[in-house]
Structure 1
């Protein structure tokens, strides 16, 4: 069972922040073999949606209010720990993130920059492609929006 909590940057403990950054590095830098600047000074303005299982973080997103990253609310750094992906925690963490945006910012229009190979996953959550595919940090991405 996934226990999902929401925290501002200032509410994160040092241990939580370290675990989040470690997991983001494990997935986005090591697993995807992508050298990029993950620590981007955007975490301070985000809400952090954290999925815990047995006291460890296994799923995560960060969400932004409108005009913070996009013209609309946004979700980024979507991840699920490798060994937990078969449990569909990606859907749970994304559905929780969508609810947080709706409840906190009273927004239904949400933008994401999705890795292109995950397009169908995001389609299943109500996101549709906008624009052309592009490279971001050497990985094919597509802009997507949920209305």
Structure 2
């Protein structure tokens, strides 16, 4: 069993221009590793919205090594992706799954949205298979299913 636990993570949220080249590379590598390769989904990940987002990075530092990105999400103020604030590109490294890192990521993402732009509703476009996961964080299916890049999705909203 994996021993990585959420308390070992350091969290930061930054605009795109504040990411170093190495951090941006690691973000794009993780997103491609999961969304393109693992999910076998050919799509344009770099959608022109990264410069409008705050990037939430969860890193784990191991003895003798710099922090390794294990969790990531994009955060948007209201009016960019949806009328409400939103969270997207939610991803955890495969080696961190099953340890609570995904739940820690969603908690941090919600806190960051509220810290950055005030307590307000948050809308997500969730992969349908993750409905129960997002429901644990207060998101409710609002009955707007759709298919994106061959994957069933649904819109979910979390009210404050």
- Return the TM-score normalized by structure 1: 0.98
1:41 aligns with 2:42: no
1:136 aligns with 2:148: yes
For residues 57-68 of structure 1, the aligned pairs below 5 Å read 57-68=69-80
Deviation (angstroms), 1:107:
3.3
* Unaligned segments of structure 1, at least 5 residues: none
For residues 3-18 of structure 1, the aligned pairs below 5 Å read 3-18=10-25
Give me the whole-angstrom Cα distance separating, in 1, the residues matched to 2:77 and 2:131.
23
Give me the whole-angstrom Cα distance separating, in 2, the residues matched to 1:11 and 1:142.
32
Other-structure match for 1:31: 38
Structure with max Cα Rg: 2
CA RMSD of aligned residues (A): 0.8
Q: Secondary structure at the match of 2:97?
A: helix
C-alpha distance after superposition, 1:33-58 (max 9, x if no partner): 00000001101010000000121000
Deviation (angstroms), 1:88:
1.1
C-alpha distance after superposition, 1:68-121 (max 9, x if no partner): 110000000000001101111111111111111111101320000000110000
Matched residue pairs, number? 147
Deviation (angstroms), 1:132:
3.5
Give me the whole-angstrom Cα distance separating, in 1, the residues matched to 2:151 and 2:46.
18
For residues 1-147 of structure 1, the aligned pairs below 5 Å read 1-54=8-61, 55-147=67-159
Q: Secondary structure at the match of 1:86?
A: coil
**Which ranges of 4 or more aligned residues in structure 1 deviate by more than 4 Å?**
none
Give me the whole-angstrom Cα distance separating, in 1, the residues matched to 2:102 and 2:16.
22
